[in-house]
Structure 1
């Protein structure tokens, strides 16, 4: 027989259910006695509902807000099979609800005021052998540790691949930073300034004389915007402080119509291409002539951005390296549990084996009189002849 207590929930008046006929609701019970076992786990829980639900005034005033739930069962009887059946049903229901059909472990559980005893504890008690429950508890702990170990290994492999990616990205960022720094250093050495401190726009375009005015330069750039056809390649059109000026024709499609766009770049010794306004040339000639110079003026912001990326990678890489070099610290505990499980298995086998031998001895003793009678009959028959 199993007996446990439930704490009554928040007390409040019970009203008739919505969309259902009005009914009389009992104001409370002192407990619940279950003499037989239902076919569904929900029925077993439902029978306790009247006693443990809200509004049990008897429990509130006379039983310290607690109720007893008593379930009757007989050891080593079909009740054990019944509880095992209920356990398997509840396990299947939990699998469907949790979307985990691979679940095949018994919840070690415990007796408490919230849930009482679980089905696996009932089965163990009714079978007369609690070693099965001990085995289930150890198996669950082993399964939990093995799952934790798998998660640790997965995170370790993930960190390994991420470490490789971050290391590669760090090298790329460092390379871009160095090349941009070289371009900026060259620009600072070659740059020319007017008396008022403004930078001289020393742009030189192919086909224009060195004495070309800003208006002529801007007009020529607008002509290149309309007429250039590079076929997707970069084409050099001039220079500025030792940097190459390039144009590239890019094709795109919109609403079934081919669109041709010429974009302009400036490239230094680091083979990095810089743009202003995404490489689109302004229509106003003076603004157009300043396009490449403004692209070079953005170099410090590019360098600072790459330095920020390098700093972030340098922070993350040691953390990832620590995960990759990490060792799972619960391996000894897992080995101990496996040893304990093997000992429980041997104990269970030893408890089963003597009973089997005893049954065989009993059967042999039952057959002995028949064997003796048969031998006697044979001897008598032989003596007759």
Structure 2
């Protein structure tokens, strides 16, 4: 660590000297960002600035991206920090992006670095290593070294404390999907088209497996690998597997020929079928492929597919086009022609056709001839057809767009597609705060180093156990989510039950007081000859029953009464066994952004010291009419019967609701046994996979010396896989008879 930090320090010192020299020699004076008076930055398509530099001691760990970063991202960081330091807060910038996390949760650290420096400092997360120590866990995959030995390669593929990470992320995120804002756009009807390998592909798959084991490039028609090339053997193998799955002629167009059931022919038949079925509405289709792009005088997927559509399925050549033939200046014409149905088939790559392609008016189907590396790339592709403004899909095809993903069995297609969908699922859940799992496994394939050897061999050999494992993990995750929701609901019901029980006790107690008050009021109430309620109020300081005089006295008290020191209320009279009070209260008002306090008087009546206080018109008498003011307290006491009836209804409702909620608090999780069975099945499958992988490793690692006696030693260990403890067999190396002091691994 120390050596690495010293090297980095020297490199940074060198860069700093270069920058200072450039500043000194600069002739022109430009605008200084600090002097521009900018208060807030809005950064659209912010994911383009995610290649930010960061420091880590894990410089040998795969999948971390470019630690050096780009100058563009560094400039953005300087601008953001300038504003954050000026206002001394984690504010001043808004990032806007449809794909803020495009591939891995490690990208979240850079978002936090941009947007939450003070909060990260508060949590003592001062660099990537601090963040990774809290939220990520390194795992070890196995690959071959230049000397043909199996070596361990580390990568961050497991993420832990996921709900806390999601909460941290959602503190600064506002995420809206089409579903949230009821955006009128078509649904995707996704179909995974499984294609059996052709005989040539089956042979090549075996050769690929041998190449991955031995590094013999002649097996795949590449020639011997240089030592430098052998370091990236798994990346070469992964790329050849991708080419092989697309079309064998991508590997060697002289050696291999066309096959009626390969991926291009399968896709061409489906495209032609949809073309003919949607002829009345001139439905359009988009075909995506990032490999086999148009190249003159060389075999490529684009020209081959177009030739088949025109020659074999009799489509007009003018109705099939490549995105590569349209410059930015010509693209508006392409948009018009596709939206009018003059061009019916468009072939493009994710980079050129995945964004900024507004041809959605007539799109009825999309076809993916290869699987991209990142979930965000697949999402960008899908967004070309499942887009607001798709008129034909809405009016004639049930507001659905068909989405075909073509995958060759025993290739990496299925695995990559499944991995992408899993990643996309937890990225979406992260955005939506819907994650219930505590750990996530991102898988072991990436763009820069290919795939880990063990899983690569398992998939190419036709062993579908890994895919089954992935499906089981998904089922377990769904079940765990349901269980989590069930117990969350139980907790909520228990809190509700406790609240209702408290409410019942409180309501019963209040009703008892109301009933006693109502009985006293009813017993003492007197009526006048006219049948009205007699106002027998007696106020301190007044004599007689003249309503005018009583009313004026009440109004005068309301307007002028001030309490004695240390008091805030005073008894002023009685009526029908109830004591009458005046009190002073403090109210807060806001005016022009300033708060000020005002005092006002109000009246209430109560029968006992701990009794219920009865008010009318919030305790404020009618100051315009003394006769109405005189009946203020009588009106307050009249409310006792109404309040009693209301509390009786509330108590009746609580009596009905309590048994129902009590029953819900004891409701068991009905799928507990099913979840237990799935976990057991998953643990067994993981154990089988671990044994298979170790058997493959052992075959590669057997000592060859004939004079040594082989004595395998087997030791049982335990490891954690996706949160489940799994017993696995670890096969130790053979031990030589002589010399006894030496053990070869």
TM-score, normalised via structure 2 length: 0.39
Match of 1:275? 615
Residue 333, structure 1, aligned to residue 674, structure 2: yes
- CA, structure 1 residues 89+171, in 2 after alignment: closer, same or farther (shift >3 Å)? same
Match of 1:130? 464
Match of 2:343 among 18, 22, 25: 25
SS of the aligned residue for 1:238 comes to strand
Structure of larger gyration radius = 1
Matches within 5 A, 1:257-272: 259-269=598-608, 271-272=611-612
Displacement of 1:185 in angstroms is: 0.5
Match of 1:368 among 681, 703, 706: 706
Higher relative contact order (CA 8 A, sep 6+): 1
Match of 1:190? 524
Match of 1:164? 498
How many residue pairs align between the two structures?
335
Match of 2:583? 248
Displacement of 1:241 in angstroms is: 0.9
Match of 1:229 among 549, 562, 577: 562
Q: 2:408·2:414 contact (CA, 8 Å) conserved in 1? A: no
Match of 2:230? none
- Structure 1 range deviating more: 38-47 or 11-20: 38-47
Matches within 5 A, 1:65-76: 75=410
Residue 215, structure 1, aligned to residue 554, structure 2: no
SS of the aligned residue for 1:272 comes to coil
Provide, for residues 12-31 of structure 1, a one-character-per-residue CA deviation record: whole Å limited to 9, x for no partner: 11589993346562579xxx
Q: 1:173·1:306 contact (CA, 8 Å) conserved in 2? A: yes
Matches within 5 A, 1:42-81: 75=410, 79-80=411-412
Provide, for residues 245-273 of structure 1, a one-character-per-residue CA deviation record: whole Å limited to 9, x for no partner: 11011233544665332111111236111
Residue 323, structure 1, aligned to residue 664, structure 2: yes
SS of the aligned residue for 1:274 comes to coil
- CA, structure 1 residues 194+141, in 2 after alignment: closer, same or farther (shift >3 Å)? same
SS of the aligned residue for 2:584 comes to strand
- CA, structure 1 residues 259+369, in 2 after alignment: closer, same or farther (shift >3 Å)? closer
| Alpha-carbon distance in structure 2 between the residues aligned to 1:197 and 1:67 | 81
Residue 294, structure 1, aligned to residue 635, structure 2: yes
Match of 1:61? none
Residue 313, structure 1, aligned to residue 654, structure 2: yes
SS of the aligned residue for 2:621 comes to coil
| Alpha-carbon distance in structure 2 between the residues aligned to 1:228 and 1:335 | 73
| Alpha-carbon distance in structure 1 between the residues aligned to 2:457 and 2:708 | 41
- What RMSD in Å do the two structures reach over aligned CA positions? 4.4
Q: 1:106·1:140 contact (CA, 8 Å) conserved in 2? A: no
Displacement of 1:317 in angstroms is: 2.0
Q: 1:34·1:72 contact (CA, 8 Å) conserved in 2? A: no
Match of 1:153? 487
- CA, structure 1 residues 331+91, in 2 after alignment: closer, same or farther (shift >3 Å)? closer
Provide, for residues 38-95 of structure 1, a one-character-per-residue CA deviation record: whole Å limited to 9, x for no partner: 6677589979x99xx999xxxxxxxxxx99986557x4xxx53x76556545654554
TM-score, normalised via structure 1 length: 0.71
Match of 2:248? none
Match of 2:515? 181
Match of 1:380? none
| Alpha-carbon distance in structure 2 between the residues aligned to 1:204 and 1:331 | 71
Displacement of 1:163 in angstroms is: 1.3
SS of the aligned residue for 1:368 comes to coil
Higher-helix-fraction structure: 1
- List gaps (5 residues or longer) in structure 1: 56-65, 108-121, 372-385
- CA, structure 1 residues 293+33, in 2 after alignment: closer, same or farther (shift >3 Å)? closer
| Alpha-carbon distance in structure 2 between the residues aligned to 1:352 and 1:127 | 12
Match of 1:13? 282
| Alpha-carbon distance in structure 2 between the residues aligned to 1:151 and 1:144 | 11
| Alpha-carbon distance in structure 2 between the residues aligned to 1:34 and 1:212 | 94
| Alpha-carbon distance in structure 1 between the residues aligned to 2:534 and 2:696 | 105
| Alpha-carbon distance in structure 2 between the residues aligned to 1:98 and 1:131 | 26
Match of 2:574? 239
SS of the aligned residue for 1:314 comes to helix
Q: 1:36·1:72 contact (CA, 8 Å) conserved in 2? A: no
| Alpha-carbon distance in structure 1 between the residues aligned to 2:374 and 2:576 | 87
- List gaps (5 residues or longer) in structure 2: 1-193, 197-265, 285-318, 320-329, 347-365, 393-401, 444-455, 710-745
Q: 1:263·1:280 contact (CA, 8 Å) conserved in 2? A: yes
- CA, structure 1 residues 349+277, in 2 after alignment: closer, same or farther (shift >3 Å)? closer
| Alpha-carbon distance in structure 2 between the residues aligned to 1:221 and 1:37 | 84
- CA, structure 1 residues 38+97, in 2 after alignment: closer, same or farther (shift >3 Å)? closer
- Structure 1 range deviating more: 351-360 or 267-276: 351-360
Displacement of 1:148 in angstroms is: 1.2
Displacement of 1:282 in angstroms is: 1.5
Q: 1:34·1:71 contact (CA, 8 Å) conserved in 2? A: no
- CA, structure 1 residues 149+34, in 2 after alignment: closer, same or farther (shift >3 Å)? closer
Displacement of 1:235 in angstroms is: 0.9
| Alpha-carbon distance in structure 2 between the residues aligned to 1:239 and 1:318 | 44
Match of 2:123? none
